[in-house]
């Protein structure tokens, strides 16, 4: 996978989380994901269309999303509720939107769908693309989350 595609997601994620929650996460080694298992407890998913079809998913461990939402909203969240679900979706939307801004400079023309959120232990994250699923894990002393994305191998004609 080309760094011209990976780096926009990596940079956008760090920028959004730092700007909104003022938390620094370390980037771990990215990998090609082979299954559809959510790597955490709650996942925001955004579809992409345009010059290529794709999907972006951001999966948070429960403690991580609770901490991030608490920092963003300056309120103590102790369980996944509607506000946490909405914020997970909006974070996914913002990360994807920022990555798309960066990808546009590399010749992509993409539009986002409305985010959906799934949660619960062992939930599935399906990309419905024929390209590899790239997963970028992030970690800090406050927890971990993973950004994953996949694009069709061939652009639309």
Q: What is the pLDDT of residues 94-133, one digit of tens each?
A: 999 999 999 998 888 999 999 999 999 889 999 989 999 9
Residue 7 lies in a domain: yes
pLDDT, residue 1, reads 58
The answer to the question of residue 72 being in a domain is: yes
In a domain, 126, yes or no: yes
- Is residue 42 in some structural domain? yes
The pTM of the full predicted model, rounded to 2 decimals, is 0.93
Beta bridge partners of 42: 60, 119
Query: Does 35 map to a domain?
Result: yes
Q: Is residue 128 part of a domain?
A: yes
Contact of 58 with 147, CB cutoff 8 Å: yes
Distances (CA, A) of 111 to 27, 58, 157: 26, 17, 16
pLDDT for 45-100, tens place per residue? 999 999 889 999 999 999 999 999 999 999 999 999 999 999 999 999 999 999 99
The CATH number of whichever domain residue 84 belongs to comes to 3.40.1550.10
Structural domain span for residue 51: 3-151
Domain count, the chain: 1
**H-run or E-run covering 48:** strand 42-50
Cα 131 to Cα 149: distance, rounded to the nearest angstrom: 9
């Amino acid at each position: 996978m080309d760094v011209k595609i990976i780096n926009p997601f990596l940079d956008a994620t760090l920028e959004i989380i730092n700007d909104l929650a003022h938390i620094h996460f370390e980037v771990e080694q990215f990998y090609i994901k082979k299954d559809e298992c959510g790597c955490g407890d709650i996942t925001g998913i955004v579809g992409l269309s345009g010059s290529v079809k794709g999907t972006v998913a951001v999966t948070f461990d429960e403690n991580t999303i609770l901490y991030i939402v608490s920092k963003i909203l300056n309120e103590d969240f102790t369980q996944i509720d509607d506000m946490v679900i909405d914020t997970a979706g909006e974070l996914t939307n913002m990360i994807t939107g920022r990555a798309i801004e960066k990808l546009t400079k590399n010749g992509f023309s993409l539009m986002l769908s409305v985010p959906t959120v799934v949660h619960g232990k062992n939930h599935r994250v399906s990309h419905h693309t024929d390209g590899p699923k790239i997963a970028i894990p992030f970690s800090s002393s406050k927890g971990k989350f993973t950004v994953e994305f996949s694009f069709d191998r061939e652009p639309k004609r």
